[in-house]
């Protein structure tokens, strides 16, 4: 361990503490350890594992293991080097923290399916920051302007031959959360009563194995399909919600579409023939 940092015990367990003053932009330490697949992570190591790529996880074996989460973190992880970099000035005695559920907009846009949230990762945050989100149950996209009061950003519009759809009322930035929809979960035992009704076209596969279905409330069931979408949806099973994010910068007045297959580049046939 570098003498510039020390591991101490606090109310929530171990924590990493600065033993000297650091300027913003200083590399404090690096994440180091074995890189393994998700299925190979031991149960008692899950809370320490860091996703560094599609099904590539690093289990730290140095002081980076003890870096706690904060919704107002004072450090961040440099993707290329896995360095922990100070985001602002750190004083002697400050705890080093990162945001466990933060992802850069450009990284999310490249491979959104890689950022599916595992309900096992969710936890109640005790960081005490004024910006505390309370329950950590999904990724927050940063690096763009985000408006979590999403209602004014979108509206329902009519599109010839396709019925209703969703249109941007204002410019929406790449990575922005467009809509958060609660869902009504339809258990698999009840699906036979639904699949021959008009609700069929508006439901999502639900559950870790896709065993159930869900009907999204709000704007969630009104996004039209495209094989070249400008948005993507993220199903959050733990909270029974679907979040929609912009894959591109979207202009005011532009229709917002998603790929019904889930992944933006999935070109598998659907149960209907999409219009060009």
Number of structural domains found in the chain: 2
Mean pLDDT for the chain?
86
Other beta carbons within 10 Å of 159: 13
Residue 80 sits in which domain range? 5-100
Query: At a CB cut-off of 8 Å and minimum separation 6, what does 262 contact?
Result: 113, 233
User: 126-177 pLDDT, tens per residue?
Assistant: 888 877 888 888 887 765 433 333 345 788 888 877 788 999 888 888 887 8
The answer to whether residues 185 and 149 belong to one domain is yes
Other beta carbons within 10 Å of 51: 15
Predicted pLDDT at 80: 82
Angle subtended at Cα 109 by Cα 51 and Cα 105, rounded to the nearest 5 degrees: 75
Percent of the chain scoring above 90 in pLDDT: 39
End position of a domain, from candidates 71, 100, 129:
100
Predicted pLDDT at 173: 81
Predicted pLDDT at 105: 67
The answer to whether residues 145 and 218 belong to one domain is yes
Predicted pLDDT at 201: 84
Residues of the chain with pLDDT under 70: 1-2, 11, 105-106, 142-152, 275-276
The answer to whether residues 78 and 196 belong to one domain is no
Query: At a CB cut-off of 8 Å and minimum separation 6, what does 42 contact?
Result: none
CATH number at residue 249: 2.170.270.10
The answer to whether residues 121 and 183 belong to one domain is yes
């Amino acid at each position: 361990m570098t003498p510039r940092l020390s591991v101490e015990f606090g109310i929530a367990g171990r924590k990493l503490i600065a033993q000297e003053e650091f300027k913003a932009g200083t590399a404090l330490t690096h994440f180091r350890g074995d890189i393994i697949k998700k299925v190979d992570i031991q149960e008692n190591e899950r809370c320490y594992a860091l996703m560094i790529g599609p099904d590539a996880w690093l289990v730290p074996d140095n002081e980076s293991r003890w870096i706690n989460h904060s919704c107002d973190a004072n450090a961040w992880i440099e993707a290329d080097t896995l360095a922990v970099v100070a985001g602002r000035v750190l004083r002697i005695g400050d705890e080093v923290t990162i945001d466990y559920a933060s992802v850069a907009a450009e990284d999310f846009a490249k491979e959104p399916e890689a950022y599916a949230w595992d309900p096992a990762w969710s936890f109640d945050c005790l960081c005490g920051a004024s910006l505390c989100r309370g329950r950590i149950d999904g990724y927050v996209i940063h690096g763009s302007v985000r408006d979590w009061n999403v209602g004014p950003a979108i509206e329902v519009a009519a599109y010839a031959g396709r019925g209703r759809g969703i249109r941007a009322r204002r410019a929406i930035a790449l990575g922005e959360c467009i809509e958060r929809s609660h869902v009504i979960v339809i258990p698999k035992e009840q699906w036979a009563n639904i699949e021959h009704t008009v609700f069929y076209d508006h439901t999502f596969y639900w559950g870790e194995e896709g065993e159930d279905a869900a009907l999204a409330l709000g704007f969630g069931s009104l996004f039209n399909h495209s094989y070249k979408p400008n948005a993507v949806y993220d199903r959050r099973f733990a909270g029974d919600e679907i979040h929609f994010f912009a894959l591109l910068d979207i202009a005011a007045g532009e229709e917002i579409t998603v790929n019904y297959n889930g992944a933006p580049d999935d070109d598998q046939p659907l149960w209907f023939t999409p219009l060009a």
